[in-house]
Structure 1
Amino acid sequence: MQFNAKRGLVAVGALALLLTGAACGNDDGGSTGGGNGASVDKGFKVGLLLPETKTTRYETFDKPLIEAKIKELCPKCEVVYQNADQNHDKQLSQAESLITQGVKVMILDPVDAKAAGGIVTKAKDANIPVISYDRLTQGPISYYVSYVNKQVGITQGQALLDALSKDGDPKRGQIVMINGSPTDPNAADFKAGAHSVLDGKVNIGAEYDTPDWSNDKAQQEMEQAITKLGKDKIIGVYAANDGTAGGAIAAMKSAGFAKIPFVTGQDAELAAIQRILTGDQGMTVYKAIKPEANAAAEMAIAAATGQTYSAASTTTNNGSVDVPSVLLPPVAVTKDNIKDTVVADGFYKVDQICTAEYAEACKAAGLL
């Protein structure tokens, strides 16, 4: 999978180039460094804690990309990986296990960002720096890498508003908002961004926060909205990610919608790209994972070896500290730019997207 900076995602590609080779400076060790004797020459253990498997990106992209970058930067290093399956208590136990195993740095994507402050505190007590990955964790973390999360919601909300406006008065019916997990701070940012675009311009007939980002719960929420509003009144759906979008679409199909209204999404999951091709989903947000994973790996090596990661050019306050951060821009994907985004960047190959079932839709979109 090769990140192509020349087509579609110039800003992300440029930042990816900035990150390359920036992990290890010559700083004598500050608050971001580990100072725990870790050495690239000798190698050390890097803990990697990811939150769940319901979203396909973590196992398919984040984990292997982070592992590959760690191996590139530190050939003798070992990545010790655990997935929490959306269970904070399990993630806490996994973190304690990593500390016992002697990891020198921890990359943490928390199930519950607030509760994960306890993980960060335990790690700090063991002199282990923590890199907050994708979701902003509370506590004394060393670095944070993610996307401009409010902009994700703005991008989704604007796409929905544009689609509704194209077909007439955006207040002619009701929209349903299916937000993400209430324990995920990113979900709050997505929600705030979407509301900043939609409030006052559309009628929000029903809104839900979806525990655990569960596809099944999103489907149930959509079923409740259909019962409450009536299927003929629903003209659009704000779904915070592709999993919840899939649940909402399944509910509408079961309810016998003559045409699925415009549905947003996020993560550019393969199933979502295929739904966009067939018209079942309106858009998704592509967050190029490779530069995020690379930055996390570079931050981890720098922090473990007591050096400064100079590419963290901004800060994010997590409620207790201003965290040196890398924040990447999101990109909207529609039927019109699939070829110039996820295909051009090698995120998916055309033959992965254009199976026999989607061949005609792919031809219509210029992919075949």
Structure 2
Amino acid sequence: MAVVLALAATALAACTGQGPAQDGTIALLLPDAKTARYETFDRPFFEKRVAELGDFDVLYSNADQDAAKQQQQAESALAAGAEVLVLDAVDTKAATSIVAEARAQNVPVVSYDRLIAGGDVAYYVSFDNEKVGVLQATALVDALDQRGDAGGGILMVNGSPTDSNATLFRDGADSVIDASGLRILAEYDTPDWSPDKAQEWVAGQIAQYGDQIAGVYAANDGTAGGAISALRAAAVEPIPIVTGQDAELSALQRIVTGDQYMTVYKAIKPQAELAAEVAVTLLRGGTVTAPMDIDGVPTTLLQPVAVTKDNILQTVVADGFWKIDDICTPDYADACRAAGIL
């Protein structure tokens, strides 16, 4: 095992393409590549901010939604000399073993985006995840009311059962839906946040419930895309109200065309930058503070924002998260003009 870890550590250090950093080494461990935000935004924002703060190596790994792989990546990072781990866990329960191993080596762990419950983490930075669910469900209920389907049936396409945030999204959504009078026709916890599995499940529900489906609560944009693919394949008209989360480019384009009703924008840049700043402070032996704590963990929760066709310009475009040219490619130019974006 020692030989394996030593070889893995050498490979991990080599992948940075740099020599030893003067100021130290930080590991960034992200959970998957299916969710577009991690490679597109979280990683580059984090690495850029770390580089601004000093001469650090960032050992980056993506677990491809595999908890065992993430465990190996964490062990390799520790063997390679990582002095802080910034960890977005694939499985928040399983990740407690990563935290324990790091702490045994006096390496602090920053819990990024998902809280590792029961782990002795040094800091937690995320968004108000119950509010995400509230925003999604409120938009769904209001849109169905405007359409005259306030008493309709909905499908609940929840997130991964191994993601602690998925429970918070569902809790927030349930607090709104339970009081709305909407009927939940069926509910599904989507393994690995897989769009393909969401599509397959929704296709089965369409066969069972047909035109009773007025809306789909989809916990993120990937599962929303899967649901919409199933609805389009079944030629469902009109398209039900579909929610989402993460403000992925493909989701914004679906919103412009009317296939997806809304998404939730989370300002990833300040999240990633704060995680970088906390990691550097911890590496340097400093003290970190936060506006609140959860189970004794210093915590910062940023605020999510609901995005529909009506406020794309005022949210994701105004923040520079996406440009108009990104969204309104030639295939979407007519829809963008109709939506007042062009």
Task: Report the TM-score when normalising by structure 2.
Answer: 0.92
1:258 and 1:182 map into 2 onto residues whose CA distance is 31
Structural mapping, 1:40-119, within 5 Å = 42-74=22-54, 76-119=55-98
SS of structure 2 residue aligned to 1:336: helix
1:46 and 1:366 map into 2 onto residues whose CA distance is 44
CA deviation profile, 1:139-175 (whole Å, cap 9, x unmatched):
100000000000000000000000111122511x210
Out of 300, 313, 325, the residue aligned to residue 279 of structure 2 is 300
Aligned to 1:364: 338
SS of structure 2 residue aligned to 1:181: coil
1:94 and 1:169 map into 2 onto residues whose CA distance is 48
Aligned to 1:272: 251
Aligned to 1:313: 291
Aligned to 1:180: 159
SS of structure 2 residue aligned to 1:158: helix
Shift of 1:105: 0.3
Aligned to 1:13: none
1:298 and 1:314 map into 2 onto residues whose CA distance is 17
Contact 2:149 2:214 in 1 (8 A): no
Aligned partner letter, 1:363: R
Please list every run of at least 4 consecutive aligned residues from structure 1 whose deviation after the TM superposition is greater than 3 angstroms: none
2:199 and 2:149 map into 1 onto residues whose CA distance is 27
Aligned to 1:121: 100
SS of structure 2 residue aligned to 1:127: coil
Aligned to 2:264: 285
SS of structure 2 residue aligned to 1:80: strand
Aligned partner letter, 1:257: V
Aligned partner letter, 2:58: V
Residue 327 in structure 1 maps to residue 307 in structure 2: no
Shift of 1:227: 1.8
2:223 and 2:41 map into 1 onto residues whose CA distance is 19
Task: State the superposition RMSD in angstroms.
Answer: 1.0
Aligned to 1:344: 318
Aligned partner letter, 2:324: V
Q: Which moved more, 1:108-117 or 1:357-366?
A: 357-366
SS of structure 2 residue aligned to 1:145: strand
Aligned partner letter, 1:275: R
SS of structure 1 residue aligned to 2:168: helix
1:330 and 1:294 map into 2 onto residues whose CA distance is 16
Aligned partner letter, 1:259: P
Aligned partner letter, 2:131: Q
> Going by fraction, where is helix more abundant, 1 or 2?
2
Contact 1:298 1:309 in 2 (8 A): no
Aligned to 1:7: none
Shift of 1:306: 1.6
Shift of 1:309: 2.1
Aligned residues: 320
State, as a whole percentage, how many aligned pairs show the same letter: 57
Q: Which moved more, 1:218-227 or 1:96-105?
A: 218-227
Residue 227 in structure 1 maps to residue 207 in structure 2: yes
CA deviation profile, 1:70-120 (whole Å, cap 9, x unmatched):
01112x101000000000000000000000000110100000001100000
Aligned to 2:237: 258
Contact 2:140 2:215 in 1 (8 A): yes
Higher-RCO chain (CA-CA 8 Å, sequence separation at least 6): 1
Aligned partner letter, 1:355: T
Aligned to 1:34: none
